[in-house]
Structure formats: C-alpha cells, structure tokens
Chain A
Amino acid sequence: MIRIDGIHKAFAGRPAVRHLDLEVQRGEIFGLLGHNGAGKSTTIGMLLGQVWPDGGTLRIGGHDVFADRARALSRVGAIFEAPVFYDYLSGWRNLQILSAYTAPTADARIREVVDWVGLTGREQSLVRTYSHGMRARLALAQALLPRPELLILDEPTNGLDPEGIHEMRHTILRLHRELGLTILLSSHLLVEVEQLCSRIAVMHRGEKVFDGTVSEARSGTLWVRLGTDDFAAATATLTAAGLIAGHDRESRVELAPNTTPAELARHLVQHGHALHELTPERQTLEGFYLSLVRSRATAPAVAAASSES
C-alpha cells in the first residue's frame, strides 16, 4: 500500500529524515514510533505531498505521490494531531468543504459518515462549540468521506482526555475490522502502538532503527526484577560473571543472551546474596524502545568527539 524508498530531507542543512525505506502492506495497522523530532511528521508530510523530499520516492497504491498526486491521494484519509477546522462554520459545512477537495460528495454520504462517527445531532452546530472529542470525531469523519483505503493518523490521541483516547483506540480497531482499512499510525505513545499495531518502525533522529512485528520487538532481551539486600552488590556480582547485560537504578536487570533466570538465582545464592524476589518480566514495547533509543543515543556523541579530536 505504501512504499518509501530512500527518502531523505533536511531543513536548513539539518537532516530530519535520513534515507528511509519503509513498506506498509495492505490491510495492516502499521505503527511509526519515535520521540518528538524523530522525523515521523516529516515522513508523513512527504507521504502526503506536503513536504518535498530531497531525494527518494514515495508511492501509495503504486502511484508516485509527487508525480501522480491526484491518484496517489484519491483514496487516502488523514488525521493530524489537534485537528483544526473552520470554527466559524458548522461541522456539516466543514465536511462539505473538505470533501470537495477530493471529489463532489453527496449529502447522503456525509450523513452516513456523520452517523458512523457518532456526531448525529451536532453536525449543524458551529465547530467552535465542539469539545476535543467531537473535533476528533469530525476529523475522523472528514478522513472517511473519500472512502479511503489508507488512513494516515499523525498523533491522533494528542490533546484527548483518557476517555477520548480510549474511544479513539476503539475506533481505530473498528475501522480496521469493519472497513478493512490500512492504517499508518504515527505516535510516541508506546502503549497505544502496542495495543493497535501489528508491525512497527522505530525512528530516531531521522533514521529508521527498527522495522518488524511487535512480537519481534518483544522477543528480545528479558528483564528480571530482583529483590536483594544490596542491589548494587548483586548487580556487580552478576556483571562480573557476565550474566546480565545491564540494569536499572532500582531493581531490574537485563539478562545477557542465553542466560536463564535460574542461573541468575543460583549464582547470587552461591555468592552469599540474600535473594527474596526474582520475577522474570515479559519484554514490553516500551522496554524495547527505550533500550533501542538509548543504545543509539551515544553514537552522535562519539562521532562528535572523534571529529573534534
């Protein structure tokens, strides 16, 4: 559905996206993860033809976004964070205006979408009277009007209250299930991505640092929660034995490859540590993401240091 080949983009000489390759299959919910400034929104901007890439190609449904914009975007809906509308007009008028940029849209279709997103009864009210949640529904309605095959969601839950976030997640799953849409979800909310997406790509400083399924991301290193009298001494012992790859400041250690929790327990007891808790923890997407990003964080510093010397 989406194919991105080697796109790169710099703003005033500062790279925002570096030689990104990405493929999103038809019918999947694909998560684009990354900190603020990682390059997600720039990538989406290029995908929608709003930001010009310095190089590379972007295709939607086989059509080049820049050479054949009309076809590439004809079945695409997009929602951006904090959706904005013409506040001085009604929700209905906003939908008429926005849908006209794709194709003439019958009132019956607008009615159908308004009902689907649950705005019935408020569609003739001015948008300035809408709550955040209603704006989110209106944003969804405008995205659904052209009967999209691909839905691009850029931080769709930003600014929503917990109930609104829950509702948006439920709606995304409903869209996927009932309408069979391909969804590209950009977010820095790991829980959101973990709950919704089947595949993810992680971006960091403009680069893609991971591309795979959520279960692949989770199947990496294993963390164990340790309860000892002296956590610092215990981790020192385990590090010296090469049984752990790292630890946090409180009570969690990351197992080294091919090490089991049982080996850890045995080694600690043999070395005289009092052990009163040992709980293996399932790798979360959050843990995976943070370890990935932290491991990359030192790279530019090293590069900078070497260039200074």
Chain B
Amino acid sequence: MFLNQFKHELWKLFGKKRTYIGFGAFLLAQNVIILMFRFSNATGGMRRALEGGGYPVTEFLTSITIATQVVIPIAYLLLPLYGALIGGDLVAKEAEDGTLRMILSRPISRLRLLTLKWLAGALFSIVLSLSLGLFGWAFASLWFPQGGLFATQLGEGPGFTLFTPGDGLRHYLLAHVVLCSKAITVMGMAFVFSCFNMKPAAATVLALSFLFANFVLMNIPWFQEYRTWFITHHLNAWQWVFLQPIPWSRMTESLSLLLGFNVTFFVIGATAFQVRDIKS
C-alpha cells in the first residue's frame, strides 16, 4: 500500500510540465556553458595550469574535465534554486490549490502523507543530480575528446588534481552521488517551510534566503575559523571527491551532519504540519 501511494505521489510530481521545463533549463544552461568553453578562450586558465606543470593539454582538456567545470555553477546556483522550488511546492502548493483538503478527507495520517511527499522529493533530487551528471558528460563529449580529468580544488586553494581517464570518470560519478545529498538537503529545507501555513513561493524564498545567509556568513574572512558551523560548508562535500586523496573522514562527518539536518528539518516540518488546521 505504501509503495502504491508512493507511486502515485511520483505521478503527481513527474506529471507536471514545469518539472520538465526545469530540466530543460538545466540542459540549456549546461550546453551554453559547454559551448562557451568550446568557442571562447575560457579554457585558457586550464591550459596555462597544465602547461606550467608540464602536463599534456590534449590528455586533460577533455569532456570529463569540461563536464566537471559545468557542474560548478549548476551546483552553486541552479540546483539549490530548483531543489528549493520543488521542496517549497510539495505541501504548500497542494494546500494552496485545495487538493490537500481532498487528500486529508481520507484516512491517511498526516505523518504518512509527509513521508510520501518527502521521499518523492528526495527521489526527484537524486534523479535530477544524477541526470545532470550524465547529460553534462554526454553534451561535453560532443565537443571535447575523452581522456583524463583535470579538477580544480574548489575552496581548497589554487591547486588542481589530475586523474587518469578511468579514475576521473569514477570521481566524477562519485561527486554526483554526493551531490545528491546537497539536492536532498536543499529540497528538505524548503519542504520544512512548505509544511507551515504559507505560499509555495514563500517557502522557496525562505529556504534560499537561509542558504544565502549561510553562504555569505561562511565567506566572511573573520568567520573562516567557524566555517564548519555553516550548512553551506557541508553542502559542498561533493567537491572534496576531486581531492587526492579523498578526505573520507571529513566527508563522512559532513554527510552525517547533513543526515542530521534532514532528520531535524523533517521533524520540524512534520510537527508543524501535524498541529496546523487545514482549511479551504
């Protein structure tokens, strides 16, 4: 019965046109960025870094390198935006439209309904993150050759890491698996607000504001010592996959904290939803 209800929850989510419009926007953004790398001098920095280190440019200026570069703006901007949009819609949109009242005239418990919705949102986030990785690599392959991976050490200093073709692909895929945690957490954050009595747009804006405030505070130089206190620091765990060696303990710690955040978000949302009155 739970699986049947979950299947229908997915129908509601994936049946919307705007779901695919969002996907389309992502794919368009990926292609624009890839074309910029192909037809402008945007790869100049990478070339100089490789040549300066005595590495063959043709072996590392590849589709997987460009796909990795494409992930950065997507993961920082579009993914949180879209995750928050989906999370903000999950409950608040149904309340706004009036379908929530129809659902809650049935014997399903509120907790079960929220669990179904959260799981649907989480699955959507996973599909989104993984498909972004696959499409990004596929599109980059149209313009760049296959080969090794040149990865900048985002947020870790000016250095870079080089991977052999097979190793590079494994790190690229693992980064997207870890990126799912970011997408789920942002979705879950908007989901909490969505459980309160507010418009879907308000839930989305609140979640994005919370993220933005964390991001700004985390990047203030005086707060460097306290970086780990901010959720945005842990949301960037996917980038550490490109470090050599991967800092597993730090990553495990961050993923555990994100799990804790998600559980907390869900409990807050469920409590708010449980006590609220659902009116027309």
Contacts and interface: CB of A to CB of B under 8 A. Distances in A.
Interface residues of A, number: 39
Contacts of B16: 88
B4 A100 contact: yes
Given A84-B97, A89-B11, A93-B11, A51 B107 contact: no
A103 B105 contact: no
Contact of A50 (B4, B12, B104, B109): B104
B102 A98 contact: yes
Q: Lowest 6 A-B CB distances belong to which pairs? A: A78-B105, A101-B106, A84-B98, A73-B107, A50-B278, A97-B8
Contact of A142 (B97, B102, B104, B113): B102
Contacts of A49: 104
B17 A50 contact: no
16 contacts: A45-B279, A51-B277, A72-B107, A77-B105, A80-B105, A81-B280, A83-B102, A84-B97, A84-B98, A85-B102, A86-B15, A86-B99, A96-B8, A100-B5, A100-B8, A142-B102
Interface string A21-64: 00000000000000000000110010011111000000000000
A93 B8 CA distance: 9
A93 B15 contact: yes
Contact of B101 (A50, A69, A70, A101): A50
A45 B16 CA distance: 29
B8 A74 contact: no
Nearest to A103: B1
B4 A80 contact: no
A97 B11 contact: yes
Given A51-B278, A69-B109, A80 B102 contact: yes
In this complex, which of A42, A76, A82, A101 has the most chain B Cβ atoms within 10 angstroms of its Cβ? A101
Contacts of B275: 52
Contacts of B98: 80, 82, 84
A80 to B, nearest CB: 6
Interface in B180-232: none
In this complex, which of A69, A77, A96, A100 has the most chain B Cβ atoms within 10 angstroms of its Cβ? A100
B186 to A, nearest CB: 24
B257 interface: no
A81 B280 CA distance: 9
Contact of B99 (A41, A52, A85): A85
Interface string B86-110: 0000000000011101111111110
Interface string A100-143: 11111000000000000000000000000000000000000010
Contacts of B5: 100-101
Nearest to B106: A101
A152 interface: yes
A101 B108 contact: yes
Contacts of B102: 78, 80, 83-85, 98, 142
Given A50-B101, A86-B12, A89-B11, A102 B107 contact: yes
In this complex, which of B8, B106, B107, B113 has the most chain A Cβ atoms within 10 angstroms of its Cβ? B106
Interface residues of B, number: 27
Given A45-B278, A52-B275, A70-B109, A89 B104 contact: no
Contacts of A74: 107
Contacts of A89: 11-12, 15
B111 to A, nearest CB: 11
Given A84-B99, A86-B99, A88-B16, A41 B279 contact: yes
A103 to B, nearest CB: 7
A84 to B, nearest CB: 4
A98 B107 contact: no
Contact of A52 (B12, B101, B109, B277): B277
B104 A48 contact: yes
In this complex, which of B17, B98, B103, B105 has the most chain A Cβ atoms within 10 angstroms of its Cβ? B105
Given A74-B107, A100-B5, A50 B279 contact: yes
B3 to A, nearest CB: 10
Given A69-B107, A101-B5, 15 more contacts: A45-B280, A50-B277, A73-B107, A82-B98, A83-B102, A84-B99, A84-B102, A88-B16, A89-B12, A98-B103, A98-B106, A100-B1, A100-B4, A101-B113, A102-B108
A195 B279 CA distance: 28
Contact of A45 (B4, B11, B277): B277
A131 to B, nearest CB: 18
Contacts of B103: 98, 101
Contacts of A82: 98
A98 B105 CA distance: 10
A98 B99 CA distance: 10
Given A84-B98, A86-B15, A96-B8, A48 B277 contact: no
Nearest to A84: B98
A294 B278 CA distance: 31
Contacts of A72: 107
Nearest to A81: B280
Contacts of A97: 8, 11-12
B67 to A, nearest CB: 33
A102 B113 CA distance: 12
A96 B7 CA distance: 10
Contacts of A88: 15-17
